Amino acid sequence: MSDLDALLAGIVADPHDQLRWLIIADWLDDHEQCDRAELLRLHRELIRYCCEPDQHPERAAWQARIVELIDAGVKPVVPQHTLMLPGGVPLVGNFIPPGSFLMGSDEDSDLAPIHKVTLTKGFFMGIHPVTLAQWCAVLETEPIDFAEHNMPVVAVSFGEVSAFCETASESGDCQLYLPTEAEWEYACRAGTTTHFHFGQVPNTDRINYDGTQTWYQSPRGVQRNQPMEVGTYPPNPWGLFDTHGNVWEMCADAHDERFYERSPELDPVCHEGGECEMVVRGGGFSSSPFYCGSPFRSWCSRDFQSEEVGFRVVFTLT
């Protein structure tokens, strides 16, 4: 284990220790990885003030610089764990530390009210939606005929996803499950308060959505009409790919459009609402850009199978 790996392992062991992140940034400077050190420091500042954005207008400049660094190929610094599925197929997760953020949006009544949420525990989240290769490695089935195994798996039901998580958990040192709606949005935002983790204006060079539709001064773009391989577009500051567009992602929450009005601040999850309906997040390849934003929430039946709905897993180490 390298010195950096040891420092990152310390984050997982004690995720509330904020000082360790600064020690890692200093280590990166000392080892001539100054761009990564800058990215880490800026991201920590972005996260630090994400619940009071109006009091820190400098956050816009920090976010713009983070996007510039990631677009230039600078890799986010985050603890990572690889779960080896049957057949040697890897499932990589990045560690999302505990913290607070502002959930929801005032851009639409269905997303309101904006409310503070605190996640008290860290978790690993898959760096991209589960792929066809990963699905087949665990369940030895092929639910849809995509030739490319790096495509996100789609057209699967909630029951099949549950079977995937249960079987994959048996094959390694991790417990897999669907993210809660709060975990999903927290990870997607990565400390940002804009509609997308890279800013307010989308384009089809960053997201796979219906580019014939526009929103918030977005330019017209291409309409691909199909999923793209995972990891096609730049990641967010926590190193997660495809959180906007490409395919909708299932969450563990039952759908209740009024849940935000009574949501607890600590570790919220909705078990009420429609018994057969579940929340989906992130938008898909035929969605308008607004639907692909961090706060947008929709729903589908637990038995519904669509070529535009997939899933991403979170896991804890056992």
CA distance 221 to 29: 39
CA distance 34 to 80: 20
3-state secondary structure of 214: coil
Which position has the higher pLDDT, 252 or 273?
252
Report the share of the chain in percent with pLDDT over 90: 86
CA distance 165 to 104: 28
Residue type, 296: F
Strand bridging mode 89-96 / 80-85: antiparallel
The answer, yes or no, to whether residue 145 has pLDDT greater than 70, is no
Q: What is the pLDDT of residues 6-35, one digit of tens each?
A: 999 999 999 999 999 999 999 999 999 999
Report the share of the chain in percent with pLDDT over 70: 96
The closest alpha carbon to 162, from 318, 307, 317, 303, belongs to 303
The answer, yes or no, to whether residue 146 has pLDDT greater than 50, is no
Give me the chain's average pLDDT, please.
93
Contact 180, 252 (CB under 8 A): yes
Contact 198, 67 (CB under 8 A): yes
Helix axes 3-13, 19-30, angle to 10 degrees: 170
CA distance 295 to 110: 10
CA distance 302 to 137: 23
In CATH, the architecture of 81-317 is: Alpha-Beta Complex (3.90)
Please give the C-alpha separations between residue 76 and each of 80, 141, 165, in angstroms, as whole numbers. 11, 34, 27
> What pLDDT sits at residue 217?
86
The whole model's pTM is what? 0.96
| Helices of type H across 116-212 | 132-139, 158-170, 181-189
Find where tokens 């896991």 sit.
Answer: 315
> What pLDDT sits at residue 233?
96
> What pLDDT sits at residue 147?
46
How many CB atoms within 10 Å of residue 286? 17
* Range list for CATH 3.90.1580.10 in the chain: 81-317
The answer, yes or no, to whether residue 230 has pLDDT greater than 90, is yes
Strand bridging mode 99-103 / 115-119: antiparallel
- For residues 149-154, give the mean pLDDT: 92
How many CB atoms within 10 Å of residue 279? 24
3-state secondary structure of 306: coil
CA distance 135 to 244: 21
Q: What is the pLDDT of residues 86-122, one digit of tens each?
A: 888 999 999 999 999 999 999 888 899 999 999 999 9
Q: Residues 6 or more apart from 191 whose CB is under 8 A from it?
A: 43, 46, 47, 50, 101, 237
Q: Residues 6 or more apart from 8 whose CB is under 8 A from it?
A: 24, 77, 78, 79, 80, 95
